[in-house]
Amino acid sequence: MFLYNPFDPLYLVLVLPAMIFAMWAQFRVSSSFKKYAQQRTMNGLTGAGAAQEVLRQAGVFDVRIERVSGNLTDHFNPRSNVIRLSDSVHDSPSVAAVGVAAHEAGHAIQYATSYAPIKLRAGIIPITKIGSMLAMPLVFLGLFLEWTGLINLGIILFGLVVVFQLITLPVEFNASRRAMRILGDSGLLSREELPASKKVLSAAALTYVGALALSLMQLISLILRANRRR
């Protein structure tokens, strides 16, 4: 019996709606970025410039800013202390690019100020990676062998993935709040420009909500299916 039969009531009621929401969230962030990438900043500020200024305003001076290939592949690497901005953000003087770059600077500031949730998230990443790789195979094997211990172990490991995504939400929201506050207080963006950048970051935040919703529904489905098989 397949774990996710598309005609199974558990899939139709729990997993499918969450999957549709997650897909919609991904579409919304890409469409929002595309829309506001057309709105140039009044002062000509680029994504790289915004990240540098946000860091300076926060008193963080040891973080490098580099370009990375791809579209919306922006991220902060705490191990190398580098903000990597994608081709569509690094040199772009748009309110969308400024918002994304400032958000990544917000993550760098979180590490610099020892923000507790991001430290916790970083600490459980190795366990979460193991969980994401082994959870489903263990559940499949446990169902096939009718071995309850393997099923439970797989569910626990998948539960760790859900915990990681739950911790990720406040981390992402906090990084955006830090970014928007500095952009506004410092005058890097005008009052007219701030709402556009905020919309891009709000759309991006929805992707994390969607990922959490999907994983949570998958976890509930796993638990219900395991109990049903027993």
Residues 96-105 have pLDDT tens digits of 999 999 999 9
**Residue type for 164, please?**
F
Q: What is the tens place of the pLDDT at every residue in 50-104? A: 999 999 999 999 999 999 999 899 999 999 999 999 999 999 999 999 999 999 9
Q: Encoding tokens for residue 221?
A: 């489905």
CA-to-CA dists, residue 216 to 26, 82, 127, 130, 155, angstroms = 18, 32, 18, 18, 11
Write out pLDDT tens, residues 18-47.
999 999 999 999 999 999 999 999 999 999
Rounded CA-CA distance 95/124 in Å is 34
Domain range list for the chain:
9-229
Q: pTM for the whole thing?
A: 0.89
Whether 134 shows a pLDDT value over 60: the answer reads yes
| Catalytic residue chosen out of the listed positions 53, 104, 172, 193 | 104
Q: How far apart are CA 102 and CA 63, in angstroms?
A: 13
Residue in the structure block whose two tokens are 């430290």: 119
Residue 53 a catalytic site member? no
Structure tokens at 160: 């760790």
Quick one: three-class SS letters along the chain?
A: CCCCCCCCHHHHHHHHHHHHHHHHHHHHHHHHHHHHCCCECCCCCCHHHHHHHHHHHCCCCCCEEEEECCCCCCEEECCCCEEEEEHHHHCCCEHHHHHHHHHHHHHHHHHHCCCHHHHHHHHHHHHHHHHHHHHHHHHHHHHHHCCHHHHHHHHHHHHHHHHHHHHHHHHHHHHHHHHHHHHHHCCCCCCCCHHHHHHHHHHHHHHHHHHHHHHHHHHHHHHHHHHHHC
Position 229 pLDDT exceeds 90: no
Q: What is the pLDDT of residues 166-214, one digit of tens each?
A: 999 999 999 999 999 999 999 999 999 999 999 999 999 999 999 999 9
